[in-house]
Amino acid sequence: MIWDEIEIPKEVRQFMLEGAEETALGQKNGAKKQYRYGNLHIREYDDKYLVHMDKVDPRIDPLGHLVQDAPEILVGVASGIVAGKKISSSVYKSQKNMPFAKGASIFAGLVASVIAGYAGYTLTKKLKEF
């Protein structure tokens, strides 16, 4: 949950800022569409808009946006890479003389990568709520 997010029911006010651009950048969280207007991030749902300010506009500085506004994505990616590499290497070393050792190690690394990446992402997202 984003604590500084404002909910605007559509029944109260149908609006869209002139100059706001529809974007694919950002987590949709079930929204039909999302828009950006500078650092303002607007998500449109059937019955409401959810609006919050990002610290960094991802259209201008994508890496800065990830660091400042979405570190959970960086942690998830890093967790996945580290765990995948470690597991893949370990499996290969233990089975290098077996047939299909390379394929087994790649598969194990991919599975570990997905699990660790999701765990890192989820944990960081939860910690961000505090």
Alpha carbon distance 96, 91 (integer Å): 8
Mean pLDDT of all residues belonging to the chain: 91
> Per-residue pLDDT tens for 97-118?
898 999 999 999 999 999 999 9
pLDDT at residue 1 in the model = 43
Full-model pTM = 0.75
Mutual angle of helices 71-95 and 62-69, in 10-degree steps: 90
> Per-residue pLDDT tens for 29-84?
899 999 999 999 999 999 999 999 999 999 999 999 999 999 999 999 999 999 99
pLDDT at residue 90 in the model = 96
